[in-house]
């Protein structure tokens, strides 16, 4: 039996209700709508964690974040002896590629260390800033090669030109990977950064969605009070023993 190629595409921090095919009448998501209509939408599935690293670690291993002891961002290492699905698929004879984020360990202000991940094609792009050292961030390097400055574009009125946007770059790299001649099946994992904050789409796209025509956020007056209580925990703060945490402050 001929084994299929696998295209694994992940957007970042995108809620299900921001997709036209899943009921949002305000947005225009024709490409994602096509995937929904031609495939299967798991409308009763839940994300393993609302936090980036534990969620990604979970779907790369098939384990709950709690089993991995990986429940927050900012961890320096990844558990030893836990195989990644990309490595297992590579070992079965697939050529595996990654484009965009990986983020199984801390990558906020350092190049993300490679794991035993099985990827032979690796085009890494974490936060689309311009302060990454040369040779550590493939997207930022590519933008510089085009004679552009990411931070300058992000702060401009027009924002990042669509031709130099990280999502466009990722799509072009995907076409590059899939167009290669090979005698084996492939898996390509694409992890674009959007719609992750700071929410700065190209102005030409933002103008398609006038703010005064958009619905307001889901909000209850109690949300601010609840958030103030959660601030005492600070999920990305330093680890504390139970006796160090004053439950009366929560």
How far, in Å, CA of 94 to CA of 96, rounded?
6
Cα separations in angstroms, 136 against 22, 105, 109, 131, 143 = 37, 15, 11, 10, 13
DSSP classification of residue 62: T
- Terminal-to-terminal C-alpha distance of the chain: 57
How far, in Å, CA of 125 to CA of 129, rounded?
10
Cα angle 131, 49, 125 (rounded to 5 degrees) comes to 25
Q: What are phi and psi of 168, to 5 degrees?
A: -65, -45
Active-site pick, 103, 124, 126, 165: 103
Active-site pick, 10, 47, 52, 126: 52
CA atoms within 13 Å, Cβ hemisphere of 53 = 22
Q: And the tokens for 196?
A: 């992750």
In the residue annotation, 103 being an active-site residue is answered as yes
How far, in Å, CA of 41 to CA of 47, rounded?
14
Coil, strand or helix at 9: strand
Query: What is the set of active-site residues?
Result: 52, 103
């Amino acid at each position: 039996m001929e084994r299929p190629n696998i295209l694994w595409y992940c957007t970042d921090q995108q809620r299900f209700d921001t997709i036209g095919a899943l009921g949002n009448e305000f947005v225009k998501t024709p490409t994602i709508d096509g995937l929904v209509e031609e495939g299967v939408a798991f409308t009763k599935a839940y994300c393993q964690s609302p936090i980036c690293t534990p969620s990604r670690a979970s779907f790369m291993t098939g384990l709950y974040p709690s089993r991995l002891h990986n429940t927050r961002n900012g961890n320096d290492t990844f558990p030893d002896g836990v195989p990644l699905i990309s490595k297992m698929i590579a070992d079965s004879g697939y050529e595996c590629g990654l484009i965009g984020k990986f983020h199984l360990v801390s990558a906020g202000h350092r190049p993300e260390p490679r794991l035993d991940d099985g990827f032979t094609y690796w085009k890494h792009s974490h936060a689309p800033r311009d302060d990454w050292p040369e040779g550590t961030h493939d997207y930022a390097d590519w933008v510089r090669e085009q004679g552009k400055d990411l931070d300058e574009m992000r702060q401009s009125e027009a924002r990042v030109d669509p031709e130099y946007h990280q999502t466009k770059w990722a799509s072009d790299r995907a076409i590059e990977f899939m167009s290669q001649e090979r005698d084996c099946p492939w898996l390509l994992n694409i992890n674009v950064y959007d719609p992750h904050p700071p929410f700065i789409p190209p102005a030409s796209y933002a103008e398609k969605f006038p703010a005064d025509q958009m619905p307001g956020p889901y909000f209850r007056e109690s949300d601010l009070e609840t958030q103030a209580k959660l601030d005492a925990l600070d999920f990305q703060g330093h680890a504390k023993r139970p006796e160090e945490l004053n439950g009366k402050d929560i």
